[in-house]
Structure 1
């Protein structure tokens, strides 16, 4: 028996600061819902739109795996480890905050907005040495199939984090059906629909809807329109 939780797009927390228009799937900053604090070790799923030329000033993090996936536009990153990079659509960036880092994130463009997903995952180990990783993926490799974008293994496809988690992305044509098989017993799966609409185990999801599956072994995805999906398989216990 699958156990599911569904978070419709319009039930997310929302904060529009002008320069930042943010939607929060889980409790974050000024948005708090005791029923939506986390899904297993998945703590934050923020859908941020940053206005041209604006961004987050330098701020600290510790003991968190922070994953950034740009959906539109560019993001300029600078941190206390000496990394100065620009990430764009097709890239995935991860920071293991560990013992502590400081960073800033800005939209370097003055003529277009930046839309990104920022995801926080509780790490398996505390106080690790901070690290930064950024890769560029071939987006064509996720057409009607699952492209791995994150794993626990440094020598595997995608970025890696200090946690038994696997992320996949897919761009599905309408009518396509895919099946996902759980990697690690006991893990749950959180699905986020970036675009389009898709049935997950028969449950209809639309753009920006989220769905968590626990006690599952396989999940079936049926695109009812052209769709872009992000799958996050995570441990359900810290």
Structure 2
């Protein structure tokens, strides 16, 4: 990560998009914010209970065949095309752009993920959080976020307590999505006993004056006021994480 920048009691550390681990398998192109697969960096094993952020592009008709997971809270945030999911719990769904699919692997589950289009690429971010309790009952859920849901505001879609209609996760985390453009501004109070992470999905914005562009991450430690501003067709995720 780049050198930390501070404002009040906050420590903000940039994780530039260009520094991520890259993988190209032809049908799959992926950028890893943290160590994953063949990309390993002991300095980037995760942040708090956030373990994986993979920015994936999947060719038409391709995908991830049936494989197991255990004790991981996994969600996919679809940004282009659609993602088809099937699992050993009997779930099957197709989530389109703006949608989110969530799976709590618990004591164990197998699933597959595919691009249902034969001709068009699809893109999504796959994110793993570590659960607070191991070996729980596996679960699956989806949400579709509208443009209005996240226009100039933080939309909570995943939380430990299911508040505001969000999906319930076994991780001690709350996850928000937002878009930002023009004069829009979002203010957020970072809890000093928590950690935070910002992941830019597209466009650009500033966080407390720090410029972020597509693929950048920002680690947040300490407490204080965060200001999201100067959005240029920006879309981002904000994670409130256990320290």
TM-score range, shorter chain: over 0.9
* Correspondence for 1:133: 141
Contact kept in structure 2, 1:175 and 1:225, CA below 8 Å: no
Unaligned runs of 5+ in 1: none
Following TM superposition, the consecutive aligned residue runs of length 4 or more in structure 1 with deviations greater than 6 angstroms are none
More displaced stretch, 118-127 vs 87-96: 87-96
Q: Determine helix, strand or coil for the equivalent of 2:226.
A: strand
Shift of 1:225: 2.0
Q: What number of residue pairs does the alignment pair up?
A: 235
Unaligned runs of 5+ in 2: 1-8
Alignment of 1:8-157 (within 5 A): 8-157=16-165
Give the CA RMSD over aligned residues: 1.3
* Correspondence for 1:180: 188
Question: Which residue, out of 162, 169, 180, partners 1:161?
Answer: 169
Contact kept in structure 1, 2:24 and 2:30, CA below 8 Å: yes
Distance across 1 between alignment mates of 2:174 and 2:98: 17
More displaced stretch, 132-141 vs 67-76: 132-141
* Correspondence for 1:223: 230
Shift of 1:185: 5.1
The normalised TM-score by structure 2 is 0.93
Contact kept in structure 2, 1:27 and 1:37, CA below 8 Å: yes
Distance across 1 between alignment mates of 2:92 and 2:171: 25
More displaced stretch, 145-154 vs 15-24: 145-154
Contact kept in structure 1, 2:20 and 2:31, CA below 8 Å: yes
